[in-house]
């Protein structure tokens, strides 16, 4: 343990509040918080954590995460620009590092007249986070354009996943690896002006239906098959209800927004209230879309 602390002291913060790194601005301290600057440092930190027996948690942009107020034991490693942030266009392919911001990759694709990512405009976070959760929306998800993913396996080896090894479904990928290092996406050549117009339209649509200016973590619940979680919550009359400093958004009922001082307990209370109301009124059990560190226990 002493080794890793000394070797990486420049990029290690002890007991770093994760509220500083999540979009909800919620989350207690990470016991060890590493911010590697290069891929070599990243690999070194991971090796060090493994030999010290520390649990490893990979953090991207923190835009899909609820972290408990008590924080998290072990190591949190932040993989975000400038780390692993290169974006290269080769013909109709784009290769992006796992730490590149999705917004940056979308704008590079549009700038090069490449279609396939324009419906992901406005989604915060990194490419690594987007691949881990197969981010997307009504018009499609990132999994549809992925040709291969370069990963670090749980045992610390580098590998490339292609074809049969990759399976994406609604807000899920089946990648069991520790870390996405880079992603190769296959896009389609398109007229630049058309593409820019479509991207702008998608952005305006997203901005008009989601509370993008507030602190949130995107949609809290997965849509049950053929139904909209937001519509079910709205029909229960829950829009605008709050617990402590957290509130069910007036704009989109599947978003919980927070104010300064909100706690994970506030969010958990709202989650439980929503699940109970939707189950009683519609007999539907809503499942979480956001990730939780540590995983939320079955709520009352």
Ligand X SMILES: Cc1cc2nc3c(=O)[nH]c(=O)nc-3n(C[C@H](O)[C@H](O)[C@H](O)COP(=O)(O)OP(=O)(O)OC[C@H]3O[C@@H](n4cnc5c(N)ncnc54)[C@H](O)[C@@H]3O)c2cc1C
Q: Does 150 bind ligand X (CB under 6 A)?
A: no
Q: How far apart are CA 252 and CA 122, in angstroms?
A: 15
Based on the shown chain and the rule CB under 6 A, indicate whether residue 133 belongs to the binding site for ligand X: yes
CB–CB of 33/12 below 8 Å?
yes
Task: Map residue 222 onto helix, strand or coil.
Answer: coil
Q: Tell me: does residue 60 bind ligand X (CB under 6 A).
A: yes
55: which 2 tokens?
């649990």
The one among 26, 77, 179, 246 contacting ligand X by CB under 6 A: 179
Among 8, 32, 63, 113, interactor with ligand X by CB under 6 A: 63
Give yes or no for residue 264 binding ligand X (CB under 6 A). Answer: no
Answer yes or no: are the C-beta atoms of 207 and 138 closer than 8 Å: no
Indicate whether 166 belongs to the interface with ligand X (CB under 6 A).
no
Helix (H, G, I), strand (E, B) or coil at 14: strand
- Pick 30 or 59: Cβ nearer ligand X: 59
135 near ligand X (CB under 6 A): yes
Count CB neighbours of 201 within 10 A.
Answer: 12
Structural contact between residues 136 and 145, judged by C-beta atoms closer than 8 angstroms? no
Of 196-225, which residues contact ligand X (CB under 6 A)? Answer: 210, 212, 216-218
Q: Of 26-34, 54-62, 107-115, 274-282, which segment contacts ligand X by CB under 6 A? A: 54-62
# residues near ligand X by CB under 6 A: 31
The DSSP H or E segment spanning 29 is strand 29-34
184 lies in the site for ligand X, by CB under 6 A: no
Among 23, 32, 168, 221, binds ligand X (CB under 6 A): 23
Q: Is 19 in the site for ligand X (CB under 6 A)?
A: no
Which residue in 66, 79, 257, 271 binds ligand X (CB under 6 A)? 79
Long-range contacts of range 18-22, CB-CB < 8 Å, 24 or more positions apart? 18/59, 18/62, 18/67, 18/71, 18/72, 18/76, 18/293, 19/67, 21/59, 21/62, 21/78, 22/62, 22/63, 22/65, 22/66, 22/67, 22/217
Interface with ligand X (CB under 6 A):
23, 58-65, 79, 98, 123-126, 128-130, 132-133, 135-137, 179-180, 210, 212, 216-218, 291
């Amino acid at each position: 343990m002493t080794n890793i602390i000394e070797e990486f002291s420049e990029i290690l913060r002890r007991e770093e509040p994760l509220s500083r790194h999540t979009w909800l601005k919620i989350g207690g301290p990470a016991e060890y918080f590493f911010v590697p600057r290069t891929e070599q440092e990243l690999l070194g930190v991971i090796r060090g954590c493994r030999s010290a027996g520390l649990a490893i948690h990979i953090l991207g942009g923190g835009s899909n995460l609820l972290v408990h107020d008590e924080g998290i034991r072990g190591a949190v490693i932040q993989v975000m620009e400038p780390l692993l942030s290169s974006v290269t266009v080769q013909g109709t392919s784009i290769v992006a590092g796992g730490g590149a911001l999705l917004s940056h990759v979308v704008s590079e694709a549009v700038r090069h007249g490449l279609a396939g990512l324009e419906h992901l405009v406005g989604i915060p976070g990194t490419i690594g986070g987007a691949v881990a959760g197969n981010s997307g929306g009504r018009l499609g998800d990132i999994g549809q354009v992925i040709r291969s993913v370069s990963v670090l396996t749980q045992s610390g080896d580098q590998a490339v996943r292609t074809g049969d090894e990759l399976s994406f479904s609604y807000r899920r990928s089946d990648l069991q690896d520790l870390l996405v290092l880079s992603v190769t996406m296959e896009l389609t050549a398109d007229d630049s002006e058309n593409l820019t117009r479509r991207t702008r339209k998608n952005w305006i649509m997203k901005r008009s239906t989601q509370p993008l200016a507030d602190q949130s973590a995107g949609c809290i619940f997965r849509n049950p098959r053929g139904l909209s979680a937001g519509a079910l919550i709205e029909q229960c009359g829950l829009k605008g209800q709050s617990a402590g400093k957290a509130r069910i958004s007036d704009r989109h009922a599947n978003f919980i927004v927070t104010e300064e001082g909100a706690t994970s307990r506030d969010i958990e209370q709202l989650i439980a209230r929503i699940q109970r109301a939707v189950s009683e009124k519609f007999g539907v059990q809503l499942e979480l879309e956001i990730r939780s560190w540590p995983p939320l226990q079955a709520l009352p």
